[in-house]
């Protein structure tokens, strides 16, 4: 993968060099920019048109009926259905293929360090996002009084944790694709306890004393039976919805098992890799339809707004919450981790990959930024090419700190607007599924939109409310992509620092191998001049050049 990336980088450089030799007119440059940002421009145009059309439709005196709103929302509903349709193949294929490729590439200490770093920073990003959105509560902003929270079932905290573990190990993987098991509490009549009998006796004695003082009342029976006690008992029930945790655990286990089989597992590995590629093609098709869906989703959202001023205030605080989380994670959490481990200036390291960060801001794709990221790491920050060849490509695939943070904030924000009760169990599910969905997200523009539907589905929140946050998602997508790339860069620097001894040992082994080749050549009567052996680390190993004969 490293050699492919390097080859792509060299060919890209040669192409760019050839292109630079031919002067371009201003019109050609404008067309090139428009072509590279066509999807973003279409989304912005759809957003603006949706707002304008929605405002115009609100000028009607009569309120719109539910049927009229349904017709207006129909193209957007198709978009959400297509996104939901891709959840199952996307999460399974990406995790299985990701685990198979990651395990084969990460069999040594370097891979273990990279994986631990990826999981740690992604989880920290999700926790940071949850803390901020729960503290700021952007979805509850405004003067409109908050109604009673929505809660579909009465739960116990212990049952919530048991449900989490139970969902990780479903008894039927097919059923996990469309339903999950949850614990509910039902009231049943129980046997009165000793305290209940005592209370009933006291009540009877009090009534008898009252009747003895009031002689005008007719005699009545003062013996009172204790009322039946209502007891809440846990009952397991099947609930409609994808068991996302079960599918994630199964996919990870499947990927590990396939790699463990070695050659016998290659057919399955190729199958899931092909499935992941096909799913990505379908995702790209759906994403190109998204401007049409966004147009009607935003229009319906504007028309059905009860209080536009409050909605605007909520979106403003949502934007502030996400940006604050990205800023803290990018300028505090990641640099602090780098400084604690490497004892070097993290902001100098950040400056070295500034070009990659700007590229990510412009392209909104960590995969498209990968060649620039690798070049900045090697040329500006001195990271060994063997490290960048492993850490950077894998990081661009599974390390999505900014996306994970954004998903956690967005899902809880939607829950706050809908006024759902967010218990600790729901927050834990959001934390786990946001982390897993971010790992399974493809490094392409607007992939976070697909993974957000995954998290919303996992916790049972209405996925169609995604239309509310699409108004500013195109801008947030660029900033969270920059944080993703920054996390990849710091990961490469940290792995390089921790793997110095391993790299030196690899260099020494390659040097000894080169010397052995020279000695073998001399024994065969060939020249011992080895100037033709050059230092090349792009293929994952080092070849040395010596300026003297042995």
- Tell me: pLDDT of 152 over 70: no
Rounded to whole angstroms, the Cα distance separating 55 from 52 reads: 5
The DSSP annotation for 189-212 comes to: EE---HHHHHHHHHHHHHHHHHHH
Over residues 58-78, the pLDDT tens digits come to 888 888 888 988 999 899 888
Q: How many CA atoms lie within 13 A of 485 on its CB side?
A: 36
How many structural domains compose the chain?
Answer: 2
pLDDT tens, residue by residue, 82-115: 877 877 887 788 778 767 765 454 446 777 888 8
- Report which secondary-structure segment, H or E, holds 438: helix 424-440
Residues 531 and 432 in one domain: no
Model pLDDT, residue 504: 79
Q: Is residue 177 part of a domain?
A: no
Residue 216 in domain: no
Distance in angstroms (rounded) separating the CA atoms of residues 346 and 41: 35
Q: Is 173 a residue whose pLDDT tops 80?
A: yes
Cα dihedral 12, 13, 14, 15, rounded to 10, equals 50
List the Cα angle 44/46/50 in 5-degree steps.
120
Contacts of 319 (CB under 8 A, 6+ apart): 472, 476
Q: What is the C-alpha separation between 181 and 184, in angstroms, rounded?
A: 10
Q: Is 187 helix (H, G, I), strand (E, B) or coil?
A: strand
Sign, CA dihedral 225-230-233-235, equals positive
Provide the sign of the torsion angle of the four alpha carbons 234, 235, 240, 245, taken in this order: positive
Decide if 187 is inside a domain: no
**490 and 549 assigned to the same domain:** no
Query: What CATH number does the domain containing 471 carry?
Result: 1.10.3860.10
CB-CB contact of 242 with 458 (8 Å): yes
In a domain, 308, yes or no: yes
Residue 92 covered by a domain = yes
> Do 365 and 465 share a domain, yes or no?
yes
| Domain shared by 316 and 370, yes or no | yes
What span, in angstroms and rounded, lies between the C-alpha atoms of 411 and 458?
10
Structure confidence at residue 497 as a pLDDT band (50, 70, 90):
very high
Give the chain's radius of gyration (CA, Å). 30
Tell me: do 441 and 528 sit in the same domain.
no
Q: Are residues 398 and 331 in the same domain?
A: yes
Answer yes or no: is 229 within a domain.
no
Structural domain span for residue 411? 2-7+35-155+241-498
Say whether pLDDT at 488 is over 70: yes
Same domain, 383 and 304: yes
Closest CA to 43 of 450, 479, 481, 472: 472
Tokens 């391993």 sit on residue: 502
- What element of type H or E holds 166? helix 157-168
469 and 379 in a single domain? The answer is yes
Q: 456, 476, 498: which is the final residue of a domain? A: 498
- Tens digits of residue pLDDT in 17-65: 444 455 667 777 777 777 767 877 887 888 889 889 988 998 888 888 8
Q: Identify whether the C-beta of residue 544 lies closer than 8 Å to the C-beta of residue 12.
A: no
- The reply to whether 394 and 522 lie within a common domain is no
Cα distance between residue 381 and residue 489, in whole Å: 10
| pLDDT score of 307 | 73
* Residues 540, 455 share a domain: no
390 touches 113 (CB < 8 A): no
> If DSSP codes are grouped into helix, strand and coil, which group holds residue 73?
helix
Structural tokens at position 19: 């292109």
Q: Are residues 409 and 523 in the same domain?
A: no
- Chain centroid to CA 425: how far? 18
- Whether 378 maps to a domain, the answer reads yes
pTM above the 0.85 mark?
no
- Residue 129: the pLDDT is 94
pLDDT in tens, 371-407: 888 889 988 999 988 788 777 877 776 788 898 899 8
Q: pLDDT tens digits, residue range 185-227?
A: 777 766 555 555 555 555 555 555 555 555 454 455 545 555 6
Give the number of other Cβ atoms within 10 Å of residue 34's Cβ.
10
One domain, residues 494 and 360: yes
In a domain, 430, yes or no: yes
Q: Considering only 27-31, 176-180, 351-355, which range has the smallest mean pLDDT?
A: 27-31
Tally Cβ neighbours within 10 Å of residue 161.
13
Our CA angle for 331, 333, 334, nearest 5°, is: 75
430 vs 244: which has the higher pLDDT: 430
Distance CA 120, CA 107 (A): 19
- Please name the helix (run of DSSP H) or strand (run of DSSP E) that holds residue 129, with its range, or none: helix 109-136
């Amino acid at each position: 993968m490293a050699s492919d990336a390097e080859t792509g980088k060299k060919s890209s450089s040669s192409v760019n060099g050839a292109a630079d030799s031919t002067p371009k007119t201003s019109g050609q440059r404008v067309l090139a920019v428009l072509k590279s940002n066509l999807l973003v421009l279409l989304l912005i145009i759809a957003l603006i048109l949706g707002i304008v059309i929605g405002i115009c439709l609100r000028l009607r005196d009569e309120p719109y009926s539910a049927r009229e709103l349904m017709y207006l929302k129909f193209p957007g509903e198709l978009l959400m259905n297509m996104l939901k349709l891709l959840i199952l193949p996307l999460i399974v294929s990406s995790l299985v293929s990701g685990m198979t490729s990651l395990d084969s590439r990460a069999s040594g200490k370097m891979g273990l360090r990279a994986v631990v770093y990826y999981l740690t920073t992604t989880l920290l990003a999700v926790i940071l996002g949850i803390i901020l959105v729960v503290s700021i509560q952007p979805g509850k902003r405004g003067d409109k009084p908050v109604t009673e929270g929505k809660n579909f079932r009465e739960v116990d905290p212990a049952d919530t944790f048991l449900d989490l573990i139970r969902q990780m190990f479903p008894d039927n993987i097919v059923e996990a694709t469309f339903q999950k098991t949850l614990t509910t509490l039902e009231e049943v009549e129980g046997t009165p306890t000793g305290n209940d009998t005592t209370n009933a006796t006291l009540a009877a004695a009090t009534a008898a004393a009252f009747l003895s003082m009031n002689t005008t009342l007719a005699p009545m029976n003062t013996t009172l039976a204790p009322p039946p006690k209502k007891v809440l008992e846990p009952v397991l029930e099947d609930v409609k919805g994808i068991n996302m945790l079960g599918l994630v655990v199964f996919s990870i286990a499947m990927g590990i098992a396939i790699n463990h089989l070695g050659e016998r597992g290659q057919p399955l590995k190729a199958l899931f890799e092909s499935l992941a590629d096909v799913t990505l093609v379908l995702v790209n098709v759906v994403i190109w339809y998204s401007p049409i869906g966004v147009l009607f989703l935003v229009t319906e959202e504007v028309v059905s707004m009860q209080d536009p001023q409050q909605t605007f205030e909520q979106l403003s605080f949502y934007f502030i919450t996400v940006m604050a989380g990205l800023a803290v994670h990018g300028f505090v959490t990641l640099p602090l981790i780098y400084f604690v481990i490497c004892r070097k200036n993290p902001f100098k390291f950040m400056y070295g990959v500034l070009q990659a960060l700007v590229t990510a801001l412009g392209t909104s794709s960590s995969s498209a930024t990968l060649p620039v990221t690798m070049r900045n790491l090697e040329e500006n920050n001195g990271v060994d090419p063997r490290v960048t060849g492993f850490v950077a490509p894998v990081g661009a695939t599974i390390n999505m700190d900014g996306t994970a943070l954004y998903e956690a904030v967005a899902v809880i924000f939607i829950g706050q607007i809908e006024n759902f009760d967010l218990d600790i169990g729901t927050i834990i599910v959001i934390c786990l599924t946001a982390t897993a969905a971010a790992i399974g997200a493809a490094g392409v523009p607007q992939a976070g939109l697909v993974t957000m539907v995954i998290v919303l589905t996992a916790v049972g929140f209405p996925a169609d409310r995604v239309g509310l946050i699409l108004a500013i998602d195109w801008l947030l997508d660029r900033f969270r992509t920059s944080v993703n790339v920054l996390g990849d860069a710091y990961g490469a620097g940290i792995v390089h620092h921790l793997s110095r001894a391993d790299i030196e040992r690899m260099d020494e082994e390659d040097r000894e191998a080169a010397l052995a080749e020279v000695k073998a050549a001399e024994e065969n009567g060939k020249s011992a001049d080895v100037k033709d052996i050059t230092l090349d680390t792009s293929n994952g190993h080092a070849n040395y050049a010596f300026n003297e004969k042995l």
